[in-house]
Amino acid sequence: MLKLSEYDFNTEVDVNILGHIFEHSLSEIEEITTELSAGPGEHVPLAVSKRKKDGVYYTPKYITQYIVENTIGTLCNEKRKELEIEEIEFDGSYKKKDGKLLAKGKKLYQKLDGYKSWLLSLKIVDPACGSGAFLNQALNFLIREHKNIDDIIAELTNTALRLFDTEKSILENNLYGVDINEESVEIAKLSLWLRTAQKGRKLSVLSNNIKCGNSLIDDPAVAGDKAFNWNVEFPQIFNKKKKQAWHITTATYNTRYSQRMFDNYVKPGEPVLLSEKEEQIITDKIAEIVREDKLNILAFNVCVDHMHIVLVCEKEEVPKIMQKIKSMSARTCNIAMGRTIPAQHGGACSTVATAVTTAQAQEHAPVPTTATVSETPEHAPVSEAPVSEAPVSEHAPVSGQRGKTQSHLWARKSGDTEIQSEEQLYNTIKYIRTNRQKHKLPENKKLEKTINEMCCSVNRAFRAEYNGGFDVVIGNPPYVRQELFGEFKPYFETKFEVFEGTTDLFAYFYEKSFQILVDEGRFGFISNTFDKTKAATKLRNYLRNNTTFINYVDFTEVQIFEGATTYPVIIVARNSKETDSIFKYTKIQKANQSRIIDIDSESCVEVAQNSLESRSWSFNSVQGSIILKKICQHQSIKDQYGKCFRGIVTGFNEAFIIDRLTKEILEKEHYSSKDLIKPFYEGKDLSKWHTAKVDKYLIFTRRGTDIDKYPALKQHLELNREKLTPKNSPEKKIGRKPGPYKWFEIQDSVDYYKVFENEKITWPNLQSENKFCLENYKYYINAPSVVFPSNSKTLLIILNSKLIWFFLKSICVIRSGGYIEVKPQYFEQIPIPEFKDEETFENLADKIIKATTELQAIQLNLINLLRNKFEIERITKKLQNWHKIEFKEFLKELKKAKVKLSLSDEAEWMQYFNEQKQKAQSLKAEINKTDKEIDQMVYELYGLTEEEIKIVES
C-alpha cells in the first residue's frame, strides 16, 4: 500500500484503462469458464455473452468529457454567472496594502466560499455506471473546478491553505452510480480510489454511493436480489413526501358576492355559468393534467358555477397545482367556445393560443382587491391566502398575431381545507360524488366516465412518493436489444410510459433518468439513435413533450465503440417542459471516423424542438423546416399513384440465385427450367437513371409451384434441401425461418410478382445519393431493394432531384457511412405536385438516360476487355471507376492484379485509356449539366425561392 500511495496514477496511467481491460475480459472469462465446465471431449456452445447481454461497451474519453462539460459544466457556468464570479480581475479595490480585505474583497470571498459549498451540494449520478468512465470524468472536472476557486481564494487572501480535503469530499458528496454488474461496480470504485489515492490517508467509503443493482426494476419478484429502489438506496437524495388530503372548491367568475364586497360598494358583474358542453371541456382538460402530472385525485365534480376536488399532495404543492388547473382549463374552454382566438406561433407551424402580455393569469378573473371568497353551502369557511399569479409560461408564448382578449372563467381564489380524519375524507368524497344530484342537475354519463377515469383509490393516492433527486444524470445506457430481456417486458409495460414491445433497453434508462432528476436538472446520454425507428415512437413523444433539448450530436455516420456496430447520438437536455425551445444539432461527418473528434468545432444548426414529430425526428434548421412544410402541402406519391413493393426474399440466396452458366446447364437439362428462371438484380447492381443488364438469375419457385414439373430445378435445389427446409419445430436448428412454405419455394409470398415483369421504377435500399432508375428489362429484384409500378419519366425526374434528396434525408433512417435507408414507408411519403408540361420532363429524362446508358457501356466495355484479355478474377473499385483515375494509377491497379505490360503495350493502352476516359468524362459532364437543369425545374415545380434553393443545396 505504501508503494501504491506513492504512484502517480494521474499522469502515469489513465484510470479509465481499467474500463477497457474489464470490457475485453468479460468474453475471455466466459470462454474459460465454459471450457472448464465442459466434460472431456465435450463442446459446450456459448450462450449470449455477458458483455452483449449487459450491453458493456467502453465510452471514449472525448465523449465523456463533452457530456460532463455540457451538463455539470453548464450548471457551474450558470451558478458563477448568478454569483457574478465569471471573470475576476484583481485591483486595489479588493484589499488594503497590508493585505486585509476591504468590503469588496470580503464580499468576493463570501461568494467564492458559497460557490465551493454549492459545488459540494451537487448530486451527480450515472444509472449504468459500468467501470466508471463518466464518474471519473465528473471527478476530474470537479477537482479542477475546486482548484480554480482555491487559486482565486489564495490570491485574494495571500494563502495557499486548502480548507478541506477536496477529492474525498467530492467522492463522498457528489458522485453516485449504479450498475447491474458486480464486477463493474468494484472496478468503478477502484478507478475512483486510484484517482484520489494519497499517502497517509484512508480510502473513502464508496459503498453508500456506488451500488450494484438493476436501475430499472425495484420489485424483487421480478429482478431478484438485483431489484433496486432508488428512494430506499439513496435516502440522502430522496425524501418521503408528507402527503395530506385537501378539499378544494373553486367558483366561477362573479357567482359569489361576499359581505365585504357589499360593504365596499362593489357591484357584482355578470356571473359565469357553465353549460354542459363547457363542463365536459373543463373536465377533459383537468383529466389530461391529472394524467400528465400524475396527480392524486380522490374525487371531482363540476356543477354549473363551481367545482370540487379532493387532492392528495403536500401543502406546498396545492397553490401551484390549482393555479395550473384553473388557468389551463379556462384557456382550453375559452378557445373551444370561441372566446379566445388562437394565434399563429412563429417557427415550425403549430397553432397555439395567444398568451397574455402580462405576468398575471388572465384566465383567473381579476376582481377588486377587497373581494373575498364568501361562505357558501358548498364549503366551510376557508382561509383567504391568495393563489400565486400564473407566470406567462403557463400560457402559450407570445408570438405572431395576438389573439382576442381572454374571457374570465374562474374566481381568483380557491378555498382549500385540510381533511383531518378518515371519516371526514370518506364523507367529503361521498358529498362530491353526489353534488350534481344535490343541485338537481341532469345525469351525464360521459362526464361521469371521464371523472371515474381521472380519480384513483385512497391506497393509490397515499402511496409512498418522494421529493428530491439528482442535479445531473450522465451516462451510456446499455446496448441491449429487446430480444434479450423478454422476461422483464411485463414489468416495463406497467411502469414506463416509453414501453413498446420492441424497444431496446436504453429507452427505459431515458425515462428513469428524468424520473430521478430534480426540476431543471441536467441530463447527458450517449445511446443508439432512435430518431426514426418505429419501436421508439413513445420514447420520442416522451422526450419531446417532457424535456428541453440543449444539444443533439449525431454520430450515425461514424463508429465510435470498439467491437460494436452502433449508430450513436448524444442528447443533452434539461428536466423542464419548454418544448418550444431551440437546440443545437451537430452532425459528425464520416471523414472524422479515424480521429478523436472535437465536437464543439463541428458545424451545427439550430432546430426548433416543436418541429420534431412523433413519427420520426428530422433535424432541419428553422428555415429547413419551413421548406419541408412547403413541399409537404402536396399529396404523397402513395395517395396519388399507389404503393410500392419490397423485392424478393428467398431465405437462401446461394440456392436460388444463379449465374449464366448454371442457367444454361439447367435449361439444357430440361426445357421447363426456362419458365421459372428470371433475370435478376441485386441492390448493388442498381444505378441512377438506368441499370445495365447483368448475368444473374433467380429460380422463382413461388407459392403453389408444382416442383415435379421442373425436374432439373428440383434436382438443383435438392442439393441444399436441409438448409432450405423451414425450421417449423424447436428441435430443427438448420434451415430457413419458420413459415407455411415448402422446402423448394421462395421464402416469402410474392403475390405481386407480376410487378417485376413490367416497367417499373426501382432503387436500392441504401443510398448515398438519389439512385432511382427506370427498369424495363423485366428483371426481378431482391430485397431489401424496392420497386414502384410506374413508367413515368416525370416521376423519375422528380425522384432523382436534389429537393427530394433533401426531403428523404429528413425522414429516412441514417446508417453507417452516411447512407440513408429508403424503405417503402419513407418513399411513400414523398410529396408530388401536379405537373402539366410532361413533355419537357420526359425529354430531359430521355436525354439523361441516354447519356447514362452510353457512359455505363463505355465503363463496362473496358472492364470486360480487362477480364477477357488478362483473365482478371477480381476487379478492384479503382478499376471499376477507371474513368476517375489517371493512367499511372490504372497501371498500378493492373500490377496488383498481376498483369504485366511491355512498353509497347503500355503505349497502346495509354492511348486507348485516354480516348475512353475523354468520352466518359464528356458524357459525365453532359449528365451533370442535365442534372442541374432538372433540379431547377423541380425547384420551380414546388415553388421554391432563391433563398430556399440555397438552403437545400448547402
DSSP state of 401: S
At position 18, the amino acid (one-letter code) is L
By C-alpha distance, which of 802, 803, 807, 800 is closest to 830?
A: 807
Q: Which residues of the chain have pLDDT under 70?
A: 1-58, 160-164, 200, 257-268, 342-406, 561-565, 591-595
Would you mind telling me the total number of residues written for the chain in this entry? 954
By C-alpha distance, which of 630, 757, 779, 769 is closest to 694?
A: 779
Phi, psi (rounded to 5 degrees) for 55: 70, 40
- Three cell numbers written together for 120: 459540494
pLDDT computed for residue 682 by the predictor:
95
What is the H or E stretch that residue 950 is in?
A: helix 946-953
Number of other residues whose CB lies within 10 A of the CB of residue 727: 14
Cα–Cα distance, 158 to 151 (Å, whole number): 10
Phi, psi (rounded to 5 degrees) for 494: -90, -15
pLDDT computed for residue 347 by the predictor:
37
- Three cell numbers written together for 762: 426501382
Query: Could you tell me the CA-to-CA distances from 191 to 19, 62, 662 in Å, in that order?
Result: 9, 18, 62
pLDDT computed for residue 559 by the predictor:
77
Sign of the dihedral defined by the CA atoms of residues 401, 403, 405, 411, in that order: negative
Cα–Cα distance, 861 to 641 (Å, whole number): 38
At position 263, the amino acid (one-letter code) is D
Cα–Cα distance, 538 to 549 (Å, whole number): 17
Burial 459-474 (b: 16+ CB within 10 A, else e): eebbeebbebbbbbbb
Q: Which long-range contacts (CB under 8 A, 24 or more apart) does 186-191 make?
A: 187/18, 187/19, 187/22, 187/131, 187/132, 188/129, 188/130, 188/131, 188/132, 188/135, 189/132, 190/18, 191/15, 191/16, 191/18, 191/19, 191/131, 191/132, 191/135, 191/136
Cα–Cα distance, 153 to 94 (Å, whole number): 12
pLDDT computed for residue 944 by the predictor:
96
pLDDT computed for residue 592 by the predictor:
61
Q: Is 541 exposed, middle or buried (0-12, 13-18, 19+ CB in 10 A)?
A: middle
- Three cell numbers written together for 200: 497517509
What is the H or E stretch that residue 282 is in?
A: helix 276-293
**Cβ distance 714 to 744 under 8 Å?**
yes
**Cβ distance 727 to 735 under 8 Å?**
yes
What is the H or E stretch that residue 681 is in?
A: strand 677-681
**What does 514-561 look like in DSSP terms, one character per residue?**
HHSEEEEEEEEEEEE--SS-GGGHHHHHHHHHH-EEEEEEE-TTS--S
Cα–Cα distance, 645 to 634 (Å, whole number): 22
pLDDT computed for residue 381 by the predictor:
33
pLDDT computed for residue 354 by the predictor:
32
3-state secondary structure 286-300: HHHHHHHHCCEEEEE
**Cβ distance 371 to 261 under 8 Å?**
yes
Cα–Cα distance, 632 to 624 (Å, whole number): 12
pLDDT computed for residue 404 by the predictor:
46
First to last CA, the chain: 60
Q: Which CATH class is domain 477-619?
A: alpha beta
At position 744, the amino acid (one-letter code) is F
Question: Cell match 341532469: residue?
Answer: 442
Query: Could you tell me the CA-to-CA distances from 593 to 550, 793, 809 in Å, in that order?
Result: 25, 39, 21
